Structure 1
Amino acid sequence: MARSAKVRGEAAQLRRDFSWVAALGVVLVLAGLVGLVYTGVATLTSMLLFGWLLLIGGGVGLLHAVQARGSNFFWLGVVVAALNIAAGVVVILRPQAAAEALTMFAALLFLTGGVFRLVGSLVVRGPQFGWTLVQGAFGLLLGILVLVSWPSDSQYVIGTFFSLALLFDGLGLIATGFGGRKIVGMVSDRLAH
């Protein structure tokens, strides 16, 4: 009897925890949808967030390097921290230019990834040949589309990618939350009997 009550109590706590995971997923989905409507604002927000993360990471790295000043990696830590701080300052002061640079970088990644997937799928012809071919073609097409509209659409591209990432991460958390609640219910019912 005591074991059954303990199992029910722990199961109820796990269900609440999974509910919080699902709630966070809903927040991320809403943020992603808002970002897709206001992609320019999402781009600016993501660039400023990225700049501040670089700046804070550089500051923490510099403090860590100072604490390890007797080691062989002191100067490497100082240089990496200084580069992070400098990049953070540039991104914060010039978010539009940073968005243009990151958009170009993303386009080149899509292009090269698409070409490698296309060529790899044609050369290897493995069991996932069709999917790899489609992925490669999609990456190549996406890279070309981003490059054709660069730099004018740079203010929208990063925000769109950022918002889509929030949206899909949120959907994943919602699925995890509801699935976790269901599994906890099934397991706790079996253990309680």
Structure 2
Amino acid sequence: MTTELTNSQAEIVEVRKHELAHLAREWWCFLLTGIFLVIGGIASIAFPWFTSIGVVMFLGVILVISGIATVITAFWVGKWGAFMMQILIGLLYMVAGFVITDAPIASLALMTLMLAGFLVIGGGFRIVTALVEKYPQWGWSLFNGVVTLMLGLIIFRSFRQLPEEPSGVLWIIGLMIGIELLFNGLNWIMLSLAIKKLPNLADTQA
């Protein structure tokens, strides 16, 4: 039994060493991914308004395509129990997609309000949970909840400026997407640099 376990462990080690060597040879793929994400993040942060509009238009196009595909699939399959439901869902997707692409500013405003609502609810939930549970490092969770709640309230308050300044706060989605892309890209870059050193680590473990 001990011999079988030893052989299995040796096989696992060999498989892992092979995987590490393969990843190390392709480390530049991770680096390029990170660089492209960083460039996209910087562009989104620099032009958050255009990013926000682009996201809304992309969502509308995706909904239209999904609706058409759903309707075609329903007719392709033929008569079945969920035929009418699939048709209705496909038409709903198409209508929603056309409405979004036809009125991107109004759709963006609605999405921004929904985002503000999620931030307020999420921040409030974190604050209450941190104060009630008081788990280890609960102070950081409380701080995170306060910041999240305040951000949501700031977005709600900024909507009062929309009649005078249509782009008042609608850029927030593009900014958040840019920040996410930037940090995700930096994470991929750091990962690629760490992967590049994996062969030496594998040889050392051998």
Q: Is TM (by shorter chain) over 0.5?
A: yes
Aligned 1:68-147 pairs, distance under 5 A: 68-147=77-156
Note closer, same or farther for the CA distance 1:71–1:174 as it changes in structure 2 (3 Å cut): farther
Map Cα deviations across residues 15-54 of structure 1 (whole Å, 9 max, x no partner). Answer: 3433112211111111111111111111121111222222
One of 53, 66, 73 as aligned partner of 1:44:
53
Distance (whole Å) between structure 2 residues aligned to residue 154 and residue 84 of structure 1: 27
Structure 1, 67-76 or 165-174: larger mean CA deviation: 67-76
Q: Could you tell me how far apart the structure 2 residues matched to 1:52 and 1:138 are?
A: 34
Superposition deviation, residue 70 in structure 1: 3.9
How many residue pairs get matched? 185
In structure 1, the partner of 2:181 is 166
C-alpha distance in structure 1 between counterparts of 2:35 and 2:93, whole Å: 33
The residue number in structure 1 matching 2:13 is none
User: What aligned pairs does 1:166-185 form with structure 2 within 5 A after superposition?
Assistant: 166-185=181-200
- CA offset digits 1:99-120 (Å, max 9, x no partner): 1000000000000111111111
Shift of 1:91: 1.5
Change in CA separation of 1:26 and 1:92 when aligned onto 2, cut-off 3 Å? same
Unaligned stretches of 5+ residues in structure 2: 1-16
Q: Which runs of 5+ in 1 are unaligned?
A: 1-7
Runs of 4+ in 1 over 6 A off after TM superposition: 8-12
- Check conservation: 1:11, 1:185, Cα contact below 8 A: no
Cα deviation, 1:127-177, whole Å, max 9, x if unaligned, reads 241122112101101101111112442431111112112212212222222
Q: Deviations along 1:71-101, whole A, 9 cap, x unmatched?
A: 4333332222222222211121211111100
Between the aligned partners of 2:119 and 2:88, the Cα distance in structure 1 is 30
Report if the CA contact (8 A) 1:111-1:143 is conserved.
Answer: yes
- The answer (yes or no) to whether the contact 2:24–2:198 under 8 Å persists in 1 is no
- Code of the residue aligned with 1:19 in structure 2: it is W
- Partner letter of residue 101 of structure 2? I
- The percent of aligned pairs where both chains have the same amino acid is 27
* Structure showing greater Rg: 2
TM-score with structure 1 setting the length: 0.83
Residue 67 of structure 1 and its aligned partner are, at CA, apart by: 3.7
**Distance in 2 (alpha carbons) for counterparts of 1:155 and 1:115:** 23
- Paired residue secondary structure (1:149): helix
Pairs within 5 Å for 1:13-32: 13-32=22-41
TM-score (normalizing by structure 2): 0.78
**Distance change (3 Å), C-alpha of 1:119 and 1:15:** same
In the alignment, is the contact (CA less than 8 A) between 2:57 and 2:104 conserved in 1?
yes
